[in-house]
Amino acid sequence: MAANEKIEEGLELVPKFDKDGLITAVAQDAETGDVLMVAYMNAEALELTLRTGQAVYFSRSRKKLWRKGEESGHTQKVQQVLVDCDQDCLILKVKVDQGQCHVGYQSCFYRKVKLGTTDKLELTASKVYDPAEAYKKKS
Amino acid sequence: MAANEKIEEGLELVPKFDKDGLITAVAQDAETGDVLMVAYMNAEALELTLRTGQAVYFSRSRKKLWRKGEESGHTQKVQQVLVDCDQDCLILKVKVDQGQCHVGYQSCFYRKVKLGTTDKLELTASKVYDPAEAYKKKS
């Protein structure tokens, strides 16, 4: 099997990390199918996620492991991990309680581009929790 | 409104392109909710997508605009574009015919990590078209 074919057709996980050592991870609600957030993992975060069943990412801004929910309490229980054809992107099907976005929404994708425009947004959701309260109680 | 608040709470699209001028775009089937692929857009690709309603990406390997379906015929009709809290990721809700992955599957995510392992994959789908035929007929 050629290298490319092995990656695309093989049954071995060989994640392709980028030059910063990261792979894109899409967290999708296992029940509703809604995409909740898109984040990044380094090899250690991926290993921890697979071993523990709790989503662990790598925070690019804080440059360290980010155990999802460590501050907000809003963890993600991983039910399935999918990988794409060239193995440079993952989907985590996760079970969540509520409020996966730090702004207070269930999903980070709470705005859509207004039809007929290229720069106007409109809300598609309402906040489900108060981030000021959630982050305060854990600090 | 502080800069951060404007990005997170504002109703103006101010996409945050990375140092290579790209933004991550998740294509999600508008009907089934399945994530079909994850790709990248530069400013021109995003503008074209919003103006035409057909998904246009930027191919990192070919370093040029990639009008999805230009070779395979498998286009994506964009029904909605969502943006995340920090505006560095988009979701395209798309209407598709079939075979969105160049390997022959409906989605690029046709394998999952086998439960209880950290490196074994198993198939979750069957091929829906023959890529050799699809790409031949357009070249």
Mean pLDDT in residue range A5-31: 97
Query: How confident is the model at residue B137, as a pLDDT?
Result: 59
Q: Tell me which residue in B28, B33, B109 faces A82 most closely, judged by beta carbons.
A: B109
For the cut 50, the answer to whether the pLDDT of residue A139 exceeds it is no
Residue B119: list chain A partners with CB under 8 A.
12-13
Residues whose CB is less than 8 angstroms from the CB of residue A96 and which lie 6 or more positions away in sequence, other chains included: A29, A36, A74, A75, A76, A77
Q: Report strand pairing: A76-83 vs A89-96.
A: antiparallel
Residues A28-33 have a mean pLDDT of: 97
pLDDT band at A8 (very low <50, low <70, confident <90, very high): very high
What is the per-residue pLDDT for A2? 81
ipTM: 0.93
β-strands B64-67, A89-96 pairing:
unpaired
Residues 6+ apart with CB under 8 A from B32: A33
Distance from CA of B66 to the nearest CA of A (A): 17
Q: Which of A38, A31, A49 shows the shortest CA–CA distance to A89? A: A38
Q: Do B12 and A103 count as a contact with CB atoms less than 8 A apart?
A: no
Bridge partners of B121? B113
Predicted confidence (pLDDT) at residue B23 exceeds the cutoff of 80: yes
Mean pLDDT value across chain A: 94
Other C-beta atoms closer than 10 Å to the C-beta of B31 total 11
CA-based nearest residue in chain B for residue A110: B84
One-character DSSP codes across B90-133: EEEEEEE-S--STTSSSSS--EEEPTT-SSBEEE-----S-HHH
**Does A28 sit within 8 Å of B120, measured CB to CB?**
no
- Segment A20-47 shows an average pLDDT of 98
Nearest-Cα residue of chain B relative to residue A84: B109
Q: What is the mean pLDDT of residues A49-66?
A: 97
Whole-Å CA distances, B133 to A27, A122, B72? 34, 42, 9
Residue reference for tokens 């981030």: A131
* pLDDT tens profile B79-124: 999 999 999 999 999 999 888 899 999 999 999 999 999 999 999 9
What pLDDT, in 10s, does the model give residues B29-72? 999 999 999 999 999 999 999 999 999 999 999 999 999 999 88
Contact A24 B38 (CB under 8 A): yes
Does residue B38 sit at the A interface (CB-CB below 8 Å)? yes
Contact predicate B17/B90, CB 8 Å? no
